[in-house]
Amino acid sequence: MATDTPAPTGIGVLRRDFRTDPFFDGAAADRLVIRRCADCDLWLAPDATCCPGCGSEEPGWADAAGDATLVTWTVVHGRPAEDGTVPPPAVLALVELTEGPWLHTRLVGVERAALREGLPLTAVFEHPGEGESYLLFRPA
Amino acid sequence: MNAAIAGLGMTELGKVYGRSPRRLAADAVRLAAADAGLALTELDGLLVSHGLGGSPGIELADTLGLRDLRLLTQMNSFGATAGAMVSYAAASVLSGAATTVACVFSDAPLKPEQSAGSAYHRDAREWYGFGGMTAALGLRSVNAFYALAAQRHMARYGTTSEQLGAIAVSTRQWAARNPLAQMREPITLADHQASRWVAEPLHLLDCCLVSNGAIAVIVTSADRAADLARPPVHVWGWGQGHPGHRKERGSEFGLTTGAAVSGPVAMKMAGITPADVDVCQLYDCYTYTVLVSLEDYGFCAKGEGGAFAESGALAPGGALPTNTGGGQLSGYYMWGMTPLSEAVIQARGDGGERQAPANDVILVSGNGGILDHHSTLIVSPHRKGA
Ligand SMILES: [Zn+2]
């Protein structure tokens, strides 16, 4: 799932915390790893803090397909830097994974005119020189 | 018998520096008690809520020197808290748990020489964990989350930026008539469209102000209120709605709010329907919040909030005067206390140039989180059932 789009700007450096190791390990290997409670047969967002089915505070992890559809989006215009340069607009989105959970994410390689509910998307990973990989989505 | 709001206290609002949130809250409670013609020693209940600063809490009772309280707690359902406080106070008065309860909100996010937006904006070079990742990707302020909600409504129902703009314009028309409002220069739809993007589809003029200050109200019984200094504002009904939209397939995020639950609960308690409402004071952190709340309360059908706003109904002279003080978009940003304070002013007939022609039934809403929490109050100058 390597990407052919230019690296997005202005994301900064991502650092893991004690809850993110399986997710960022997966992202480093171009895999989308999210939460899955095997007991309840429920897929959950990677940042889920418990399983709503059984209350487990440590639902397991599993590989998601990386396919999604667009739920909604916003184009955010950054604040001018001190030198007056304005960062390019970023397309931020809520996407629905085929497994069901929604993720807040950033879209790359998408034309404004193509944005619509249900637009098929696929996960892409950027590997910056410093910090953890970025999970982004582009049109499938 | 119903409970009533007997006092309203408002500090200076806006770029008010040099006073801590605790001091501002104490000042508002003193002003509210004085407004009602009560001594502080006559308060036997205090409900406290705060903004992002995390202060004050229940130590406010000590700051005010209140003793032998029967009711004291901090409450938080974000922008829905003011309505929740009044309903808890009213229930306490009706049950006999307390007789005279002050409810206060205070916040001071603005600092001198800092832009209003930065008070609610995150920025960093390094970001930690999942929360940090979301922010790092660009979702760094509440604006972006509300933009996602508004865009979903637009895509689903054809709501337009111009329809959101109609709310910005009508709200400013009201603010122009309110000496307490921070933004009183008239604006046009063209001004709204030309204002810079904050997060598409939201322009700057779709977004609320940021204010420092505090507002308090005093809740007591209707009988007691009748003997106090100001005309009672009777509390006919209240409700809450917390939809718990999960971020997963099938979610109604952005399309419906807790008003769809809190509205019918409050209106049933009050014995009214939407057709009985003369004035609305709707929580307006964004123009979009007003639009979707109007639908969920049943003032128009789902998906028709844009057309309803565009019809002029909300403006001075319209069929449903809404946010008659200029709301949080143009008036002052005191979370749920903004709509509540204007409701008290309208119910008393103190609106001056902006007084609505009829004020018999006033609906007040609160909204917290990203459309996660909602509260409703129905208030009136008349006793319930009278
Ligand atoms: Zn489970």
Catalytic option among B88, B146, B283, B297: B283
For residue A3, tell me if it sits in a domain.
Answer: no
DSSP β-bridge partners for residue A75: A91, B200
Mean predicted confidence (pLDDT) in B73-95 = 98
> Is residue A41 exposed (0-12), middle (13-18) or buried (19+ Cβ within 10 Å)?
exposed
Q: Catalytic: B333? A: yes
**B142-209+236-386 domain in CATH 3.40.47.10?**
yes
- Residue scoring higher pLDDT (B379 or B140): B379
Q: What is the structure's pLDDT at B258? A: 98
Reply yes or no on whether the pLDDT at B375 is more than 50.
yes
Q: How confident is the model at residue B386 (pLDDT cuts 50, 70, 90)?
A: confident
Contact A74 B124 (CB under 8 A): no
- Pick from B131, B200, B247: which is nearest to A45 by CB? B247
For residue A121, tell me if it sits in a domain.
Answer: yes
DSSP β-bridge partners for residue B74: B48
Reply yes or no on whether the pLDDT at A3 is more than 60.
no
Instruction: Report yes or no: B201 at the A interface, CB cutoff 8 Å.
Output: yes
* Distance from C-alpha of B341 to C-alpha of B343, rounded to nearest angstrom: 5
User: 3-state SS of B56-88?
Assistant: CCCCHHHHHCCCCCCEEEECCECECHHHHHHHH
Residues 6+ apart with CB under 8 A from B255: B152, B153, B156, B292, B302
Q: Are A137 and A93 in contact (CB under 8 A)?
A: yes
Mean predicted confidence (pLDDT) in B118-139 = 84
Listed residues: CB within 5 A of ion ligand 1:
A 37, 39-40, 51, 53-54
For residue A31, tell me if it sits in a domain.
Answer: yes
Q: Which of B205, B188, B82 is nearest to B143 (CA)?
A: B205
Domain span holding position A27 = 21-139
Architecture of domain B3-110+211-222: 3-Layer(aba) Sandwich (3.40)
- Pick from A73, A131, A136: which is nearest to B151 by CB? A73
Q: Catalytic: B283? A: yes
For residue A29, tell me if it sits in a domain.
Answer: yes
- Pick from A76, A96, A101: which is nearest to B138 by CB? A76
CA distances in angstroms from B200 to A60, A75, A80, B156, B170, listed in the order given: 36, 5, 17, 16, 21
* Structural domain total, chain A: 1
Q: Are B207 and B328 in contact (CB under 8 A)?
A: no
Look up tokens 């900064």; give the residue: A12
Contact A16 B138 (CB under 8 A): no
Look up tokens 């739809």; give the residue: B189
DSSP β-bridge partners for residue B235: B3, B379
* Distance from C-alpha of B253 to C-alpha of A102, rounded to nearest angstrom: 11
Least confident of A10-14, B12-16, B113-117, B263-267: B113-117
Is B370 strand, coil or helix? coil
Q: How confident is the model at residue B31 (pLDDT cuts 50, 70, 90)?
A: very high
Contact B130 A74 (CB under 8 A): no
Ligand 1 centroid – CA B245 distance (Å) = 19
pTM assigned to the model? 0.95
Nearest-CA distance B158 → chain A (Å)? 12
Q: Which two tokens stand for residue B275?
A: 């057709």
For residue A105, tell me if it sits in a domain.
Answer: yes
Instruction: Report yes or no: A125 at the B interface, CB cutoff 8 Å.
Output: no
Q: What is the structure's pLDDT at A4? A: 38
Q: Which two tokens stand for residue B225?
A: 């209120």
* Distance from C-alpha of B5 to C-alpha of B128, rounded to nearest angstrom: 46
Contact A96 B248 (CB under 8 A): yes
Mean predicted confidence (pLDDT) in B245-270 = 97
What does the domain layout of chain B look like in residue ranges?
3-110+211-222, 142-209+236-386
Whether the domain at B3-110+211-222 and the domain at B142-209+236-386 fall into the same CATH topology: yes
* Distance from C-alpha of A124 to C-alpha of A134, rounded to nearest angstrom: 8
* Distance from C-alpha of B231 to C-alpha of B234, rounded to nearest angstrom: 9
For residue A133, tell me if it sits in a domain.
Answer: yes
DSSP β-bridge partners for residue B367: B374
Q: CA quadruple B74, B80, B83, B87: dihedral positive or negative?
A: negative
For residue A48, tell me if it sits in a domain.
Answer: yes
